[in-house]
Structure 1
């Protein structure tokens, strides 16, 4: 009888164990379907948004009087000689828009970018552009410090902050202003005004360095797909600071309640200065506009062409690590779940689950999984680029894509276990509330 009871208990334990495994398997499959839904949403939205860019409103083209279009101040923070710097900056001078100014900011009067800037000022004497030399120390973020004088001296309320390693097409400003200026009197009472327009970065790798190829494969496929999908779903703010258009008047309305800090001191004021204590000032600006003012964001119909230059393999790795460590305290849940959104980790888990549930061989599931994942990523690439991946670079790109996928989890581990980052020759410690402090090199 004792043996019978023991066998019965063992059977019950096995039954509970199987129920638990089946339950976990169902959760895994639901997550897998959700990740595919997100990926397909990003792919579909990229097709819809970038394969047929609309013309801007007639009042925003140069044929009209400048006074009829909202004024825009283009702020370009500069430091050193970024890749394709002249072409990047020149794209601002070529904007098909009737009412804008360009403020080019450098912290140091000996900055190597200045000769290029002066050359463009001579080449385009009819463009309202000027150089602002000198920074204001309002926090730890060097980009914000560099922008403060331009921010305060800008003639217009609409500001377009555009990184120095980014170029845009001539119609990008007009289309972005079109989105930002959509009327607030919307028939849907739950509709929220758009306070920020941003651009998906599209990497341009003019060099054959492996790090640049990895960055190109990442930004132009998986990153773009997820970035577009999250913004299409619009469940929360998701902003990257390569190219952001917003109103200074909106920033001045923020009081810092989002991060529960007091900003009313002599060192840090409101507006842009409030975000100088964060390295991810772009992310924090987007979150503050979204949550403090209950406003929303939208993606433009254009991309921001990000010139990569000579990026070594180690540069790529530590760039990704920096992103993870900076984002970690701000979006802890999303950062923690990140490995389970990647093709390798997700594919391995689901392949094991399918073998347990229905006996599907792993060697059958994984090739289909990776083939479909690759096709979706390449479709996103084609939508952003305006053309399919050229045959001349197809194999090198696919190799870089595969290496990027395989490196995603090890890099995530490296990012999670530390809190120090290096940015433009300076070292910082990212604090638990998302702020940063300088660390001696």
Structure 2
């Protein structure tokens, strides 16, 4: 083995061992997070929940109804679509209307505002929002009856400007949905907890973001998000620039994961990866240590099955499997087969490499290029 290949193998071994430490730490943090007591809110202010919709997704009726069935004194649900013929309106029309403390408003408005269609929808809904605590929540999120209490509790601290929720992937039937949920449960969620543990409290997650009206309006309102893909990250930055903090809700929400094909899954995950890489490329590049199995395999390849690289790969395999099993127990997930876990590891590394090597994303059938500041440019000739 030449000096160059040995040096490369040693570097990869070091990264693999760092990845092993990451896996252990992340699993411990997931377990601790799920064991922490849920706080009781000091105050329960009225909350407006904005739900931008697009199409009748799998499980939408159950997802939306879960948000209605809250043990909370006063709240408003604002549903919005950009097409008056959107089938999501039929789902909304069939929701119960007789629940205590709840108000429902529905907006159908095709007015366009920038490239981010979700934010454009939110801007059309905005005039109907009545309360001073505003939650923006995705339509594929399913919640428990104490969801609004979890959002309200951190606002007892006046330094908190946003409360956001981690989420657990709950897959529909099928291989691609299962792989998508595993990426959330054993990639995103543990990584977010590690980031907060080391002092990075800038994570704001689009599944749910609850913000004070005053902070949102002072930062430029929803219009400031209309041309960016990472609207959750930009909203978090907007609030942090006012000297306020992002708090994490005590309980995660469930995200309904439905992926029709390998292509939709790959497009989805590359969009996530390139969005993160666009706004924080250094951190995204460093996140390679979250994939010790791939690093260990590369160390073996570079070192020609050198025994230290084989030890590193074996350690990575043991740590990753232990971490996944620990996270499955903590999050009440079914046990995944070894073959599925192996496929997920390969997919994660492919997505990481592809996301590092470009800025084009596919979103709702249109192609965009993501600038370094997270703003979008539509690629000429793509579907509109």
TM-fit CA distance, 1:298: 2.2
Distance verdict in 2 for CA 1:38–1:299, change over 3 Å: farther
Distance in structure 2 (CA, Å) of the matches to 1:130 and 1:52: 35
2:169 alignment partner, one of 199, 203, 211? 203
Distance verdict in 2 for CA 1:421–1:354, change over 3 Å: closer
Is the 8 Å Cα contact of residues 195 and 246 (structure 1) preserved in structure 2?
Answer: yes
1:244 alignment partner, one of 192, 199, 209? 209
1:89 alignment partner, one of 60, 64, 69? 64
TM-fit CA distance, 1:310: 4.4
1:49 alignment partner, one of 25, 33, 38? 33
**1:343 pairs with 2:292:** yes
What is aligned with 1:376? 323
TM-fit CA distance, 1:320: 1.2
Distance in structure 2 (CA, Å) of the matches to 1:351 and 1:310: 34
**1:271 pairs with 2:221:** yes
Distance in structure 2 (CA, Å) of the matches to 1:352 and 1:380: 30
**1:428 pairs with 2:368:** yes
Q: TM-score normalised to the size of structure 1?
A: 0.78
Distance in structure 1 (CA, Å) of the matches to 2:272 and 2:30: 23
What is aligned with 2:195? 230
TM-fit CA distance, 1:126: 6.0
What is aligned with 1:169? 144
Residue 329 of structure 1 aligns to a residue whose secondary structure is helix
Is the 8 Å Cα contact of residues 225 and 377 (structure 1) preserved in structure 2?
Answer: no
Q: TM-score normalised to the size of structure 2?
A: 0.89
Distance verdict in 2 for CA 1:403–1:123, change over 3 Å: farther
Distance in structure 2 (CA, Å) of the matches to 1:31 and 1:362: 11
User: Structure 1, residues 366-406: CA drift from partner, whole Å, max 9, x if none?
Assistant: 233212212112212322x2x3x43xx532xx322211211
Distance in structure 2 (CA, Å) of the matches to 1:39 and 1:248: 38
TM-fit CA distance, 1:206: 2.5
What is aligned with 2:133? 158
1:323 alignment partner, one of 255, 272, 275? 272
Is the 8 Å Cα contact of residues 81 and 112 (structure 1) preserved in structure 2?
Answer: yes
User: Structure 1, residues 142-200: CA drift from partner, whole Å, max 9, x if none?
Assistant: 00000113334311111111100111111121022101222x4xxxxxxxx22222111
Distance verdict in 2 for CA 1:140–1:280, change over 3 Å: same
TM-fit CA distance, 1:424: 1.7
Residue 128 of structure 1 aligns to a residue whose secondary structure is strand
TM-fit CA distance, 1:288: 2.5
Query: More displaced, 321-330 or 112-121?
Result: 321-330
RMSD: 2.8
Distance verdict in 2 for CA 1:249–1:347, change over 3 Å: same
Distance in structure 2 (CA, Å) of the matches to 1:333 and 1:203: 27
**1:285 pairs with 2:245:** no
1:213 alignment partner, one of 162, 178, 191? 178
TM-fit CA distance, 1:125: 7.8
Distance in structure 2 (CA, Å) of the matches to 1:344 and 1:83: 33
Gaps of 5+ in 2: none
Q: How does 1:112-123 map to 2 (within 5 A)?
A: 112-122=87-97
Query: More displaced, 409-418 or 112-121?
Result: 409-418
User: Structure 1, residues 30-53: CA drift from partner, whole Å, max 9, x if none?
Assistant: 655554444333322222221344
Quick check: which has more Rg, 1 or 2? 1
Residue 237 of structure 2 aligns to a residue whose secondary structure is helix
